[in-house]
Amino acid sequence: MSEIKYSSAELMIINAARLLRDGDVVFVGVGQPNLACNLAKRTHAPNLVMIYEAGVIGAEPARLPLSIGDPTLVSGALSVVSMYDIFTNYLQRGNVDVGFMGGAQIDKYGNINATVIGGYDSPKVRLPGSGGSQEIAAWANRCYIMTPHQKRRFPEKVEFMTSAGFIGGRGNRAKAGLRGGGMLAVVTDIGIMEPDESGEMRLTQLHPGKTSDEAKANTGWDLKTASRVGTTDPVTSNELRIVRDELDPTGIYLKSGG
Amino acid sequence: MTKLLPLSEAIANYVNDGDTVYAAGFTHLIPFAAGHEMIRQGKKNLTLARATPDLIYDQMVAAGCAKKVIFSYMGNPGVGSLRIVRSAIEQGKLEWEEYSHFGMITRLQAGAAGLPFLPMNQTGAADLEKANPNIKRIPDPYGGKDVIVVPALNPDVAIVHVQRADANGNAHLWGIIGEQKEAAFAAKKVIVTAEEIVDESVIRSDPNRTMISQIVVSAVCHVPFACHPSYAQGYYDRDNEFYLAWDKVSESAELTKQYLDEWVFGVKDRDQYWQKLGSEVHKRLEVSALMSEPINYGRY
């Protein structure tokens, strides 16, 4: 059998999709998280319920949405509610299982910066800001993020904490009364990082052909590895076919991320 | 009593220099026509509040209408950076006040409900709270964890676009309903722009769909295609190509000025703008029908 070739983006999307469970209620972002959720729904998680911060519940997009407020999310959805309702009745109340996060930086404790590089009052690079992520990170039961494994994206400590992971250690979440479980997996193009007992992200799995030295060299903190680092299951031709042919046929999101 | 007015008169009558303006709509139903009219009329020193400033505020900031923005996600949705607002902030030329989406709409909800503030649960991420003194933390009077509070936002004027309204301002909207209702009830004055002006009997045929009441509306303007490049569910599609193209236009001050000269100052109103877009764009944004099942209210 010939070797299957895929891009870094495809590798991350497919591995992120596998983290979802059938029946999960997922707060979805546009772009790669949207592809991961739709892939999961078409493979092992047909009962996945996709929620968008624009107020759409149970979306079944017929085309690839460019924005989080695309009309294709509405047509045929289970429900459409106001933003206040989605953030209160659905998220704050505890009805969301999974939050897919994005951000420019993620640190050792899974905290995310999507706000600013440089000082807040005189920003060097002004990023978009929280959007929904501050509350999703706090209140979804499980949070995941996928991002290319690059040192600048993984500083020891974020410059600005837009959304909380384990803050300064696992106990901090309980102290703040956060209901969700926090950042439970960081999927990169090298492998997967998961929190240890202290809340520190450590390498637990490598994609086929990748090494822990590569992961360490591209992480901004002294990356620890689990006592046994596993290998992720190889990408299958079926997963690739769905992602390429059905979900993103023009390759808008598949070409990025290497 | 009819509140029907041409959009230019509604903007002239109800938007004053220095006002706090909330042009509502989360990606959907963004009232671009009203934004362009404010630019044409040279409105100044506005505080522009929106969860997502979107291209409408990028254009208004470029045109010099704004002294400040209040926002919770400053990006070009689905594309990337909102270049003009971003660079104005980075260069210290524009004041800003920032929340999470939930913080922002909680401010509106408090404003709409006539409350001074509303609480939210803690999120563990306290940096924005340190950066914005409007975000405060108070004890739960019932003995639970401290809660985060944000003050009511009561804009001087809200602009809300809807699919259909009657001449009094009772409005039906559907699709993504974002923060339209909250913005309308929070504001001191409300301008409704509508794809269609319908008889009151149409509104009365489906009262559950009336999100905005005549009680709070100051003016109603008939402005078809008011949202382009945003969209009106069931009427026309979002012009994603425009959002992508704006990424290039907004990179250059000269191209931005050319855009404003041609597409804002160069047209009289939205009708001229829509005609100028041309039949190819009209065709690209057409949507086929997907009707809901009728419901029975019963005759009592």
Reported ipTM: the value is 0.97
Q: Which CATH architecture has domain A101-232?
A: 3-Layer(aba) Sandwich (3.40)
Whole-number CA gyration radius for chain B? 19
**Rounded distance, CA B217 to CA A27, Å?**
34
Cβ-based contacts of A103 with chain B (< 8 Å): none
State the pairing for strand pair B66-71/B95-98. Answer: parallel
Strands (DSSP E) contained in B37-185 are 46-49, 66-71, 75-76, 80-81, 95-98, 117-120, 136-138, 147-151, 157-165, 171-172
Q: What are B115-129's pLDDT values in tens digits?
A: 999 999 999 999 999
Q: In the numeric block, which tokens belong to residue B75?
A: 């990006």
Interface probe, candidates A134, A143, A159, chain B, greatest B C-beta count within 10 A: A134
- C-alpha dihedral sign at A204, A208, A209, A214: negative
Q: What are B47-98's pLDDT values in tens digits?
A: 999 999 999 999 999 999 999 999 999 999 888 899 999 999 999 999 999 9
**Rounded distance, CA B163 to CA B236, Å?**
11
Out of A68, A130, A138, name the one closest to residue B124 (CB). A138
A81 — contact with chain B (CB < 8 Å)? yes
Q: Which residue has the tokens 């934004």?
A: B35
B109 — contact with chain A (CB < 8 Å)? yes
> Counting beta carbons within 10 angstroms of the beta carbon of residue B139, is it exposed (0 to 12), middle (13 to 18) or buried (19 or more)?
exposed
Q: What's the Cα-to-Cα distance from B264 to each of B7, B38, B42, B252, rounded to whole Å?
A: 14, 10, 11, 17
Interface probe, candidates B50, B98, B101, B147, chain A, greatest A C-beta count within 10 A: B101
Q: Which fold has domain B7-106+153-284?
A: Glutaconate Coenzyme A-transferase (3.40.1080)
Domain A1-96+233-249 has CATH 3.40.1080.10: yes
**Rounded distance, CA A24 to CA A20, Å?**
7
H or E element, residue A32: helix A32-42
8 A C-beta contact, residue B82 and residue A57? no
B209 — contact with chain A (CB < 8 Å)? no
A:147-166 residues touching chain B, CB 8 A cutoff: 160-164
Give the model's pLDDT for residue A2: 62
Kindly tell me if the per-residue pLDDT of B282 is higher than 50.
yes
User: Phi/psi at B177 (nearest 5 deg)?
Assistant: -105, 5
Helices (H) and strands (E) in chain A, counts: 8, 14
**Rounded distance, CA A100 to CA A19, Å?**
11
Is B72 within 8 Å of A129 when comparing Cβ atoms? yes
Give the model's pLDDT for residue A151: 96
Domain residue ranges in chain B: 7-106+153-284, 117-151
HSE, side-chain direction, 13 A CA sphere, residue A249:
4
Residues of chain A with CATH 3.40.1080.10: 1-96+233-249, 101-232
Strands (DSSP E) contained in chain B are 20-23, 46-49, 66-71, 75-76, 80-81, 95-98, 117-120, 136-138, 147-151, 157-165, 171-172, 189-197, 210-212, 219-222
User: How far away is chain B from the Cα of A92, in angstroms, using its nearest Cα?
Assistant: 8
Angle (deg, nearest 10), helices B240-249 and B253-260: 130
Is A131 within 8 Å of B125 when comparing Cβ atoms? no
H or E element, residue A15: helix A8-17
Out of B106, B124, B177, name the one closest to residue A173 (CB). B124
Smallest CA–CA distance from A172 into chain B, residue: B124
Kindly tell me if the per-residue pLDDT of B25 is higher than 90.
yes
User: Phi/psi at A113 (nearest 5 deg)?
Assistant: -115, 115
Give the model's pLDDT for residue A256: 57
Is B123 within 8 Å of A71 when comparing Cβ atoms? no
Q: What are B161-209's pLDDT values in tens digits?
A: 999 999 999 999 999 999 999 999 999 999 999 999 999 999 999 999 9
User: Phi/psi at B122 (nearest 5 deg)?
Assistant: -65, 155
Cβ-based contacts of B86 with chain A (< 8 Å): 126
Interface probe, candidates B97, B100, B108, chain A, greatest A C-beta count within 10 A: B100
Out of A92, A124, A160, name the one closest to residue B121 (CB). A92
A68 — contact with chain B (CB < 8 Å)? yes
